[in-house]
Structure 1
Amino acid sequence: MQRTDVIVVGAGPTGLLLASELALQGVQVTVLERLQEPDTTIKSGSINVASAEILDRRGLLPAAEESQRRRMAAAGKFTAGGGTAVTRGVVGGFEQTSPRFPVMGHFAGIMFRNDLVDQEDPVLASHAAVSGGVAVPQYDLELLLADRCAQLGVDVRRGIAVKGVRSTGGDLLADADADADADVVVETDAGELTAGWVVAADGGRSPIRKQLGIDFIGTDPELVGYQGIADFDDTTGLSHGWNWTPRGVYAYGPIPGRILVARFGPQPEDRDAPVTLEELQEVVRDVTQTNVTLSAIHGRATRWSDNARRVKHYRHGRVLFAGDAAHVHSPFSAQGLNLGFGDAVNLGWKLAATIQGWAPAGLLDTYDTERSSIADWVLDWTRAQVALMRGDERTRRLRRVVGDELFTVPGATNKMLAVSSGIMQHYDVADDATAPVGTTAGDVALTSGRRLADFAHDGRFVLVDRTHDGRFADAVQHLGERIAYVADSAATTELPSLLVRPDGIIIWAADQDDEPTSDDATKRLDAATLRWVGTR
């Protein structure tokens, strides 16, 4: 029976990114996918800033930028990002480009407006470098990640349906440390495979989650949504962008013929039945309150709901859950793919460290605690949008207050945009930590003209030492190749030294002005490495 370190079930964006993260750390990975080819069904049309920064840290931003250029060229105009034009400046004697933070997306169908965004906001400015690589459709993203997996030697097997999983010893849901020699057997229609660990990234209706009887906690749906690309006999009655009506919400464009519509009411009797032209036309007419006629659907239209749930625990013995297998919710403001991306980079290095034997005690358990808290926030973020989309008169008035009054308050759109873009996520990674510890590093420019992301391509921790005497080098020397040490001593004293995890989270920072002579910063650095990087 074939054995590998990790079997990832599902070759969507989450599964492919996770597989590449594991392979980058030297772990043997096999990916199993039931589809013969990547799904061309229209899904997410972009990624958020946090996801683009993940690609940036792995050297994949140029490929994402090329995808965005192709998409904009096909659309005939550069619309993504709400204006990503760059200005010129000088940093440390080197000419730099300064892109604007991408203003795209919406909250409950209320679009974020360029004219209400302060591009001088230091929070947004520190996350603007990836603005040219956010308009990446899911299909393009899967191709990009599949190529990445191929380069790293990941064994991706398509056309294989997983029937179930079992343990070679004990209970799959027991503590993984209870039987260190136990493996997981994955039963497929092409035979059995064995691995030390299995990650279920097999979608919102995860067969593995259902087989194991994993609790899927949350709230029931209120609406039914549809998305597809269709031919319309006449579109004069449709308004471009997001629109609210007493019957629901709809979005038309920007891709010609693309329609997304959501209607409050009961769920269909057979939610797995293909969406017919007649069904789509009926709901489009009802919600848009027009007599529009659809003559054809291109490809396959999708049906979805605002069912909002997550697994009670992300880890169950030697089986872990990621992406839609771990959480489902409505697609409003495009949080799903990005939430799965975050799962992948959080889990990848932690599982690799566990397999390779250098993980500090309890490291893998932090995958559950950190990602479940983020999922809870995302589920509430999407629930709040559904509440603001209901078709009654009171909701209509509330939408007017939110869109015309609250969003116009200085700084309000900045905050909503930053939160929606994923850059405000925070983990409790240190005791009594203060900002920026626990946040995503974003774009960190160095005096050499390079950036912190340039040193994260190989998936290591990155220590940026901005002291003039390089005093933190000795503190991490014993950790060898796990940490990329970057001396940036010519930097201004206003910028702190940083230690960043492989997933981009800052786990230690030290201001030069605050601690010029004391050894407190070094003690905190030692504590951070002991907690997250382990010992030699």
Structure 2
Amino acid sequence: MYLVYIGIEYMFYDVVISGAGPVGLFLACELALAKCTVLVLEKAEHPHSPLKQLPFGIRGLSAPTVEAFYRRGVLKELMVPQRLKDPFGNTGKAQSRRQAGHFAGIPFYFDDIDTSQWAHRLPSSTDTMLLSEMEELETVLARRAQALGVVIKRGVAATGLHQTGDGVRVESDGQSFQGKWLVGCDGSRSVVRKMGGFEFAGTEPEFTGYSAQVEIADPEKLSPGRNLTATGMYFQSQPGFLVMQEFDGGASHGAGPVTLAQVQQVLRRVSGTDVTVSALHAAATWTDRARQATSYRNGRVLLAGDAAHIHAPLGGQGLNLGIGDAMNLGWKLAAAIHGRAPAGLLDSYHTERHPIGAQVLDWSRAQVAAMRPDPHARALSAILRDLMETRDGATYIAGRVRGIFMQYDLGDGHPMVGRSVPNFELEDGTTIGELMHDGRGMLLDFASNAALKTLAAEYGDRMKYVAGRAKDQCGLSAALIRPDGFVVWASGQQPHLADAGRAAASWFSANPR
């Protein structure tokens, strides 16, 4: 619908999203899949950047993100995860063990991980970790969003907002855009967060991080791989591509364009060598500042991704945390827009995601504490290294890094409640993930109970009924699955219809229609 007022054209959208990064675009796809009208505003005129491309643009996708992309049919469109397998350089002849990741620069290895401890991982489950490229992610998600009817306006930055009782007006250099809801997915320096009056609490940085593409005149002076030193850390993913950390309290971040002389000085201090940088092609700085919005919602304005939480990019947790926000928020906001949200459903976005964000911030802080160039940190690091070389230690760290243990607190009940549903493979070869491409909830019935089929029918197109046995049912007879793939009710024996009905009403609608 259009409205012309004082010479300005307004179009009313269900949701306006500020930010066309992976989080904003994935959220736009979720909303459009649920038949909402969506406008995405992005301040950058062009989506391309060397820092979004390999190797700087590399991002690890953890298990919840891989599952989310698989459940929406996005994973098969990504080519980089299919061809890029090893970010740790496990190709040299001297490598006798394959590195699976790191915590605070301390490696852990595949042969130390006992995946049998990760309950409910099935042969049909998706990978627990894949590698991706930011530019490809944004390209694929933008294409999907536009195919679903999302409008993307680039070179348009939000400069003001005004909330009313039934919507939000977003201003941008003389233009106005109207939505019922506004979601800030506009990064760590979020304008929406600042204009929306959100409190952003946390801790200040201890180091400045650098990502730089350089040419080095005497590369033999630098050691390969990740190197923790007396003054910080440096890492070469491949010749000429540097990541450095200098513990200066974050003083050099945001101090202006990074120069060749600055990169050389930092590299010499951190590496303890007189290495010479002969050319600088690209550079950016970052810090370990760790902050989180105390609330993810203020009226009709919500936050997701880096707009809601920031931390050091150690272990690649940021993208995964943001995609989790979008997957959680999308179906709930759509239900509110369509008048089908039970009481408290939209508020459960903050209730569920804020604790997950807080855990990731503490995970980042713990790594920084172990990387400080002081005797206390070195002592802590030595103990961590010993623990990570044990089977249980490596399995725990790997599980945390890959999001295996993530569970929402959805109350007492079956141990699977609050967890991501296993990717059950039905007898005909179909998997649960493949059945979730349409974004609907699901009542899964391994016992083909007629009463459960009747219950699912009461919710019409909001819930599909899937019956039939699976090759491995993990001891379940039935489960109710939200559109984001999380289990909200499960039964290990003959299901109790009243319990199933209460769970369905709590998450889908108190008044089915």
Q: Taking structure 2 as the reference length, what is the TM-score of the superposition?
A: 0.90
8 Å CA contact retained: 1:53, 1:442: no
- 1:115 paired with 2:111, answer yes
Of 49, 53, 68, which residue of structure 1 is paired with 2:67?
53
In structure 1, distance between residues paired with 2:159 and 2:464: 42
In structure 2, distance between residues paired with 1:391 and 1:24: 49
Q: Where does residue 3 of structure 2 map in the other structure?
A: none
Q: How does 1:414-493 map to 2 (within 5 A)?
A: 414-429=395-410, 431-469=411-449, 471-489=451-469, 491=471
1:474 CA displacement: 1.8
Q: Where does residue 173 of structure 2 map in the other structure?
A: 189
Moved more, 465-474 or 479-488: 465-474
Of 195, 199, 211, which residue of structure 2 is paired with 1:227?
211
Alpha-carbon distance change, 206 to 314 in structure 1, aligned in 2, over 3 angstroms = same
Q: Where does residue 41 of structure 2 map in the other structure?
A: 32
In structure 2, distance between residues paired with 1:270 and 1:491: 53
In structure 1, distance between residues paired with 2:124 and 2:396: 15
Q: How does 1:300-449 map to 2 (within 5 A)?
A: 300-403=282-385, 405-429=386-410, 431-449=411-429
Of 133, 140, 159, which residue of structure 2 is paired with 1:137?
133
Q: Where does residue 530 of structure 1 map in the other structure?
A: 505
3-state DSSP class of the match of 1:104?
A: strand
Q: Where does residue 7 of structure 2 map in the other structure?
A: none
1:272 CA displacement: 5.2
Residue identity (%):
38
Amino acid at match of 2:107: M
Alpha-carbon distance change, 138 to 188 in structure 1, aligned in 2, over 3 angstroms = same
Summarize deviations over 1:111-145 as a string: whole Å, max 9, x none: 22112112444438448843397111112111111
8 Å CA contact retained: 1:62, 1:133: no
Summarize deviations over 1:137-187 as a string: whole Å, max 9, x none: 1121111111111211110110112111012x3xxxxxxxxx3xx321100
Amino acid at match of 2:444: V
3-state DSSP class of the match of 1:46?
A: strand
8 Å CA contact retained: 2:456, 2:464: no
Of 454, 461, 482, which residue of structure 2 is paired with 1:501?
482
Q: Taking structure 1 as the reference length, what is the TM-score of the superposition?
A: 0.86
Moved more, 466-475 or 31-40: 466-475
In structure 1, distance between residues paired with 2:326 and 2:233: 32
1:313 CA displacement: 0.5
In structure 2, distance between residues paired with 1:12 and 1:193: 19
Alpha-carbon distance change, 81 to 256 in structure 1, aligned in 2, over 3 angstroms = closer
Amino acid at match of 2:135: Y
3-state DSSP class of the match of 2:228?
A: strand
8 Å CA contact retained: 1:68, 1:132: no
Alpha-carbon distance change, 452 to 308 in structure 1, aligned in 2, over 3 angstroms = same
- 1:273 paired with 2:256, answer yes
Amino acid at match of 1:527: R
Cα RMSD (Å):
2.2
In structure 1, distance between residues paired with 2:68 and 2:209: 29
In structure 1, distance between residues paired with 2:444 and 2:315: 34
Of 238, 242, 254, which residue of structure 2 is paired with 1:259?
242
Amino acid at match of 2:156: I
Q: Where does residue 196 of structure 2 map in the other structure?
A: 212
Of 11, 31, 34, which residue of structure 1 is paired with 2:20?
11
1:341 CA displacement: 0.5
Q: What stretches of structure 2 of length at least 5 have no aligned partner?
A: 1-9, 91-97
In structure 1, distance between residues paired with 2:28 and 2:490: 30
1:239 CA displacement: 2.8
In structure 2, distance between residues paired with 1:446 and 1:274: 55
1:433 CA displacement: 2.1
- 1:69 paired with 2:52, answer no
Summarize deviations over 1:216-236 as a string: whole Å, max 9, x none: 011111111111222222222
Summarize deviations over 1:180-210 as a string: whole Å, max 9, x none: xx32110002511111110011111111222
Amino acid at match of 1:152: L
